[in-house]
Amino acid sequence: MKVKHFAWMFCLVSGSALAQVYDVAIEIMDNDKVIATPKLVVKEGQEASVSVSNVFDISMTVHKQDSAYAVMTQLKTAENSISPSLLVKPNEPASVMVGDTGLNLTITERE
């Protein structure tokens, strides 16, 4: 039984250690102005977030999907709240606008 438990723990630890890591450059727009340009380090399948009091709160999850990335986001600004999902090509900017609030994202894989 101890061997099975050790093998399971090894798979759990090694599986999380092998998860791809992405650098995500973000432009957050509100009322047609860029209000912030945060950069996030996102581990595949895990939520990453950043916030600045009374300005914005953003969280996202990235999953590799063939030759692109499926990105699920939640963005709250002082004016609006949006939750767009995007399909983003590596190293190419992708944008989404909902009303006057939006995002520009560029994703790069870390080696």
Domain count, the chain: 1
Q: What domain range is 29 assigned to?
A: 20-109
pLDDT of residue 32: 83
Residue 4, φ and ψ in degrees, nearest 5: -65, -40
pLDDT of residue 5 exceeding 70, the answer is no
- Which one, of 88, 40, 54, 96, lies nearest residue 68 by Cα? 88
What 3-state DSSP class applies to 43?
strand
| Residue 53 in domain | yes
| Residue 51 in domain | yes
Kindly report, residue by residue over 39-91, the tens digit of the pLDDT. 999 999 999 999 998 899 999 999 999 999 999 999 999 889 999 999 999 99
Dig out the tokens for 24 from the structure: 């995500």
| Residue 40 in domain | yes
pLDDT of residue 13 exceeding 70, the answer is no
| Residue 57 in domain | yes
- Which one, of 23, 85, 83, lies nearest residue 57 by Cα? 83
| Residue 9 in domain | no
| Residue 1 in domain | no
